[in-house]
Each structure stands twice: as structure tokens, then as C-alpha cells.
Amino acid sequence: MHHGNRPRIDLFEAMPSRIASAWLRAIVVAWAVCSATASSAMADPTYIENLVFADRSPGSPRANSFEPTLRLDANDASFAGPAGWGGGFNTWQKQFDHTKSLGAERPYSGLVFIGDSVTQGWGAVGGRQVNSIGANAWKSPEHNFGKYGALNFGIAGDQTQNLIYRVENGELDNLDPGLIVLMIGTNNLFAPTGNPGFPAANYVGPAHTAAEVADGVLAAVQTIRQHAPNANILTLSTLRGLNNADPDRIAADAANVLVKQAFDLDTNPQLHYLDFAGLFRNANGTINANMNGDGVHFTAAGYETWADAIQPFGNQYATTVADAFLPNVAPRGVASWTNSVDGSFGHYAYGAIDGDLTTMNHGDFNGSSGGNAATPDVFTLELDKTYNLANVEIVNRGTLDGGAAVADARLTGTILEVIGANGTDVLFTTTLADDPTQLGETLAFDNGGAGFAGAKFIRLTAHNFLHIRELRANVAALPEPSMGVSISAALFGLGAMVRSHTKSILSLRQPQ
């Protein structure tokens, strides 16, 4: 309808001032009520807690991303090599059980990382025995996660529903940390049909959609919150894809948007979200190969960036461990060897005693040119001072040989000696023997529980090829008691092995 030059009528001008004023007040009140209602709907401290998830792909053979699901390959040892699982924990079930044991041994832990292989890549820290990439960042003076008694609960290959299963089945039950760092979801975007590097039984059907991944991540937050109600939970964005056009990148970014929306609606001060994917990308969106070579897994530099990114959260929320629980950290020892002349293999031994398990590649001790028993290789570690050692542990390097048990990864026949301060008194000696079919086996020698009093040197004599990942000297000598309480009493009072709390290590590192 055409109105021509019809005059404009100002409604407020046309009505009596008394009525106009009342109407205006009514509008303001109504707006305020609507705004308050909208704000209360937006400001919900239980938004994530109350989310209800539904099957988005009815009929799909894949497990729902939000329901606790035991991995179908839980007892399959064929994945141990690609997964980097050592210490004899060569199946998913053994890895899971080990994390629960570590939690029971370290109930004081104030910081827990939980996730998949990306989290596992922090490495052999907090008692874990897995291949290490990020251990240097973990232990660096700038970050020093050890001061929180931090635990690494990453397990390679896990999807959201597997992590939820772990939490539902006791992984956090003994713990009350100040901060839990969650990173999960990338494997849900993976459908490796025919890929021999992953157990197909765990990856049935197509990849989960972005919405399903978001459901799984948020369901994991729900579950962690239920089992660790006092903890702050920092959820990190899902990483995948090499560039902005990569379908995996598109799906991961879409999932991250959905997860962030949920966190934006939840005002619980204990829930935090950090989208840090951009830190690992170049300006054009391609992955920064210096920090993340395959679009998923970090390099050592990538773990440094990760540690930097979460440092403010750690400073504010992670619980510092009481002095009585801190390991006795000795300075570096001096490593030396004799008769090590085997050309191409090289003989690398870098001695470090540092208070927690660290695996940075491996060391080669190859018994003189083809295993000539007349001139064996002798490796000696001189500790910085005389100690009482709780025990000595050796981890072989089977998992570094393609996941296959190989003859030169065995410890059998190697002589271990613990020697006193004068360099000649042998306090303990044994000839090592291990299971040649076991990968990454850990052998512990503790002299029947008596330990080694007055130990200054640890010596290995190899009459044949020997590759070992680590030699660990678990120090029982303790600093002076403080506050009238013996630290040794506090440690032994935990009811767990001393080595769980007083870990000192000799890392054998091969230069790159």
C-alpha cells in the first residue's frame, strides 16, 4: 500500500506524558527481565555437565564417541612397537593397568595429563615406560612438571570413548589433582582401513563426524568432572591435518568450534578451554614441521610450545607436591666405557641422574667387534657422591627395533656390578637374564630388598651385542629431615616401592 506523504506520528509525543512515562518504564522492565533471562540461560555453570548425547549415526558399526568402550584390541601385543609401549607393558590393557598403579602409588599428584598418543609423547615421565619425545620440556627448569608430581596418562590409539572407559574404570580414582589437562579426539577422525600400523579391530567403520568428535570430547569432560570433582579441567583443541584444505583439518576445526561453543556457555570456573592449534601452524595454515611433522604428533620443539601454552594454567591451578614426596634429585653422574671400538654402531653413553624416568633414544654397548668375550665392553657410571641405592633397573630397547624381539636387544649374559667408593669393592653383582620374547622389559635388582649401601659406581660388562634404553639408579639416600618429620619415613610410609618416589636415572642418549 502506498502511503504518499502521510505525516509521521510520534507515539510518545501523541500520548499524555504520564502514560508515556509508564509505558517506557514497562518497556525497560520487560527488556531487563528478558535480558536477565537470556543471561541466565547463557551463564550456566552446569551446561556441559547436563549435556545429553544421542547416537548421530544410527546403524554405524563404530562405537558411539560418548559411551565408555573397551578397545577391541585391548590384549593384542602387535601394536606395542608402533605405539612405543615399553617396560613389558606391551598391550593396551597393561598400559591402562599401569597408569592405575601409578595413580595409586602417587596419590599426591597435582597435575595429570590424559589423552592419546599425543599426550603419551610427553614420554617416560611420572613412572611411565613409553618412548619419549617431550620429556625434556616436561623436566626443563622453565616448566618442571615434576614439582607437581605430574602423571602422563596418554595411551596411543585411544579415542574419546576409550578414554571415557578408562576414567569410568578407575584411572583417576586415587587422585585429587589441582589440574587435569585433556587432549583427545584426533583418533576419532581416523579410519585406517588396511593400515597395518594400527589394529583394525579398534577402528571399525568410517571416521566419526565433527559433531560426534565434539560429543566425545564433551562427554570426556563430563566423566572426568564426575570422578575428579575438585580438579580444574583444561581441555585442549583437537589437532589433525597438514593444511587448511586437508579434510582432516576441516573436520578437526569444526569439532573444535562446537566444543568451544559449549565452553562459552558454561560458566563453571573449574572448566577451561584452550584452542592452541594455531601455535603449530605457519601463517598460510600449513603445519609447522619443526613442531608437528604429520599434523598430529609433536616434535620435541612442539612439546616445548605445548608446555609454554599451558604454563599459566599450571601456575594457577596445578597443586605443588609437598616436600616430603619430592624425589631425591642427584646431579649428573659421569659415564665412561672401555673396549668400545665397533665402528658403525658407535658407543654413546651420556650419564644423567635426574629424578624421573627419561628415555631419549637409546645407547649402544656392542661387545667388542662381533662379541669377542675376551675383550668385552665395560660401561661405568660414577655417581656424583656415595649413595644408598634402593635398586638398579635396566630397560632394554626391544620396542626400538621395529616392535620385534631381536637378539641384540637382550640383556642376557650382561654382568651388573655395584661398586663402592674406592672403585674396587664390589657390593653386589649379578648376571642378567631376561625374556627374549619380551619387548622393553624392565629388570630390577635390589639385593633381596637390602639395597646397596655406600654405592659410588654402577658397571655393566657386555660380552655380546647389547642395546639398552636406560639404566636407572634409584637413590635411597635422602636429604636432611625437615619440620621434624623424616622424609624417608614419609616415603616408605606410602606403602609403595621406594623407586616409585625416589627415581633417579641414567639416560643413555644417542646424538642425532
Rounded to an integer, the average pLDDT of 495-500 is 28
pLDDT exceeds cutoff 70 at 184: yes
Q: Are residues 468 and 336 part of one domain?
A: yes
Torsion sign across C-alpha atoms 243, 247, 250, 255: negative
pLDDT exceeds cutoff 50 at 363: no
With respect to residue 122, please indicate whether it lies within any of the assigned structural domains.
yes
The reported pLDDT for the residue numbered 479 is 36
Alpha-carbon Rg of the chain, whole angstroms? 28
pLDDT exceeds cutoff 70 at 364: no
Kindly indicate the confidence band of residue 372, based on its pLDDT and cuts at 50, 70 and 90. Answer: low
With respect to residue 58, please indicate whether it lies within any of the assigned structural domains.
no
Mean pLDDT, rounded, of the chain: 73
Rounded to an integer, the average pLDDT of 146-168 is 94
Q: Are residues 287 and 182 part of one domain?
A: yes
The reported pLDDT for the residue numbered 322 is 62
pLDDT, tens digit, 9 for 90 and up, residues 285-306: 999 999 998 889 999 899 999 9
Kindly indicate the confidence band of residue 65, based on its pLDDT and cuts at 50, 70 and 90. Answer: very high
Q: Which residue has the higher pLDDT, 154 or 507?
A: 154
pLDDT exceeds cutoff 90 at 334: no
**Cβ neighbour number for residue 465 with a 10 Å cutoff:** 20
Kindly indicate the confidence band of residue 172, based on its pLDDT and cuts at 50, 70 and 90. Answer: very high
Kindly indicate the confidence band of residue 81, based on its pLDDT and cuts at 50, 70 and 90. Answer: confident
Q: Are residues 332 and 315 part of one domain?
A: no
With respect to residue 63, please indicate whether it lies within any of the assigned structural domains.
no
With respect to residue 110, please indicate whether it lies within any of the assigned structural domains.
yes
pLDDT exceeds cutoff 80 at 23: no
Rounded to an integer, the average pLDDT of 93-97 is 95
The reported pLDDT for the residue numbered 366 is 43
Rounded to an integer, the average pLDDT of 473-480 is 52
The reported pLDDT for the residue numbered 136 is 78
Q: Are residues 406 and 279 part of one domain?
A: no
Q: Are residues 434 and 368 part of one domain?
A: yes
Number of structural domains, the chain?
3
Kindly indicate the confidence band of residue 436, based on its pLDDT and cuts at 50, 70 and 90. Answer: low
Rounded to an integer, the average pLDDT of 126-132 is 78
Rounded to an integer, the average pLDDT of 476-501 is 31
Kindly indicate the confidence band of residue 273, based on its pLDDT and cuts at 50, 70 and 90. Answer: very high
pLDDT exceeds cutoff 70 at 415: yes
**Range in 111-120, 251-260, 391-400, 425-434 the model is least confident about:** 391-400
The tally of CA atoms less than 13 A away on the side-chain side of residue 188 is 30
The reported pLDDT for the residue numbered 494 is 26
Q: Are residues 287 and 394 part of one domain?
A: no
**Range in 16-30, 118-132, 271-285, 327-341 the model is least confident about:** 16-30
Q: Which of 293, 321, 349 is the last residue of a domain?
A: 321
Kindly indicate the confidence band of residue 501, based on its pLDDT and cuts at 50, 70 and 90. Answer: very low
Kindly indicate the confidence band of residue 166, based on its pLDDT and cuts at 50, 70 and 90. Answer: very high
pLDDT exceeds cutoff 80 at 278: yes
pLDDT exceeds cutoff 50 at 30: no
DSSP per-residue letters across 132-156: -SSHHHHHSTTT-GGGGT-EEEE-T
With respect to residue 54, please indicate whether it lies within any of the assigned structural domains.
no
The conformation of residue 44, written as its DSSP 8-state character, comes to B
**Range in 54-63, 81-90, 395-404 the model is least confident about:** 395-404
pLDDT exceeds cutoff 50 at 92: yes
Q: Which of 321, 355, 387 is the last residue of a domain?
A: 321
The reported pLDDT for the residue numbered 218 is 98
* Pairing verdict, β 232-236 and 415-420: unpaired
Q: Are residues 97 and 184 part of one domain?
A: yes
The reported pLDDT for the residue numbered 374 is 57
Secondary element (H or E) of residue 94? helix 92-105
pLDDT exceeds cutoff 90 at 200: no
With respect to residue 51, please indicate whether it lies within any of the assigned structural domains.
no
Q: Are residues 400 and 310 part of one domain?
A: no
The reported pLDDT for the residue numbered 331 is 46
Q: Are residues 163 and 288 part of one domain?
A: yes
**What would the grid cell of residue 501 be?**
618416589
SS3 assignment for 480-502: CCECCECHHHHHHCCCCCHHHCC
The reported pLDDT for the residue numbered 288 is 93
With respect to residue 139, please indicate whether it lies within any of the assigned structural domains.
yes
Q: Which of 321, 355, 372 is the last residue of a domain?
A: 321
Rounded to an integer, the average pLDDT of 449-462 is 80
Q: Nearest Cα to 156, choosing from 117, 211, 201?
A: 117
Q: Are residues 113 and 147 part of one domain?
A: yes
pLDDT, tens digit, 9 for 90 and up, residues 236-272: 999 999 999 999 999 999 999 999 999 999 999 999 9
Kindly indicate the confidence band of residue 144, based on its pLDDT and cuts at 50, 70 and 90. Answer: confident
Q: Are residues 437 and 367 part of one domain?
A: yes
The reported pLDDT for the residue numbered 470 is 60
Sheet holding 151-154, edge to edge: 151-154, 111-115, 179-183, 232-236, 271-274
Q: Nearest Cα to 279, choosing from 255, 317, 254, 308?
A: 308
Rounded to an integer, the average pLDDT of 343-370 is 36
With respect to residue 68, please indicate whether it lies within any of the assigned structural domains.
no
Write the CATH number for 196. Answer: 3.40.50.1110
pLDDT, tens digit, 9 for 90 and up, residues 204-245: 567 899 999 999 999 999 999 999 999 999 999 999 999 999
3-state class (DSSP) for residue 428: strand
Q: Are residues 100 and 32 part of one domain?
A: no
SS3 assignment for 259-312: HHHHHHHECCCCEEEECCHHHHECCCCCECCCCECCCCCECHHHHHHHHHHHHH
**Range in 16-20, 139-143, 183-187 the model is least confident about:** 16-20
Write the CATH number for 408. Answer: 2.60.120.260
The reported pLDDT for the residue numbered 147 is 86
What is the domain range of residue 432? Answer: 325-507
The predicted model scores a pTM of 0.65
**What would the grid cell of residue 493 be?**
610410609
